[in-house]
Amino acid sequence: MWPKLESISTHLAVLGVVTVVCALALATPTRAASPLKGSVSKGTYTSPRGLFSVRVPKASNWAGVQFKVQDVTDSSQTNYDLVAFYVKDFGEVFVASVRRIPKVALDNMARDDPRNVLKNVSNKALGDWRQNFPEEPQVVEERFLSTPYGPGILRVYMAAKGSLLETATGGSGRGFERFDVLIAVILVIRNDHYISAIAENDAEALQKEPLTRSLEAFFSEIKVPDTPRFDKR
């Protein structure tokens, strides 16, 4: 069963985009009602509470359109920092987050198999970012990792009709529809928090190896202090 996921609000705004192939629309999560602003200096983003820093990704699309920064950390919540880097016209997104785990959840996790915990929390990390999937995403690849922050997991999900972009449909009833896409998640649990990174690239919707390579490179650039301060506002 897909667990009920605690998440920031992810209402969708649709933007019309014209490409040489077809008309596209991109839906992106709305910013938090009172978002805290991170900072970018010399190509490195630092989250609002200093829970992590990460290099801003480089453009991979043929047009050279650069990533924009979307802060999604709600000032009324003190348990996480989350940022999305996105290229709207190509449906390319990287997400980085550090989130505190409640004590009751830690107690439950301590009684479960560690690898099963990583699987479950990777679902939670995906839901921290998006919950607007028309169908439950299915895991199509899974492998366990050794990271500087401890054991982790890399999962690739198939999201049926779960793209951010929408492609034009033909015929007299011309409209738009989403298409199948892969989303990759890396998740590491360290002490009382978890570190997550997510990647989606609608321009290469079903290309698994480029997606996982790019996510692993992105995750390697995430730096988290030994003892993150979650109480900062």
What pLDDT shows up at residue 29? 47
User: Mapped to the 3 state alphabet, what secondary structure does the chain carry?
Assistant: CCCCCCCCCCCEEEEEEECCCCEEEEEEECCCCCEECCEEECCEEECCCCCCEEECCCCCCCCCCCCEEEECEECCCCCEEEEEEEEHHHCEEEEEEEEECCHHHHHHHHCCCHHHHHHHHHHHHHHHHCCCCCCCCEEEEEEEEEECCEEEEEEEEEECCCCCEEEEECCCCCEEECCCEEEEEEEEEECCEEEEEEEEEHHHCCCHHHHHHHHHHHHHCCECCCCCCCCCC
- Is 213 a domain residue? yes
- Is 226 a domain residue? no
Number of domains in the chain: 1
State the 10-residue block means of pLDDT for the chain, 233 residues long.
Answer: 30 26 38 73 95 94 91 86 93 96 94 96 94 93 96 97 86 78 97 96 94 97 92 66
- Is 137 a domain residue? yes
- Is 79 a domain residue? yes
What pLDDT shows up at residue 28? 42
158: containing domain: 12-33+42-220
Look up the pTM and report it.
0.84
- Is 81 a domain residue? yes
What pLDDT shows up at residue 153? 98
- Is 228 a domain residue? no
- Is 111 a domain residue? yes
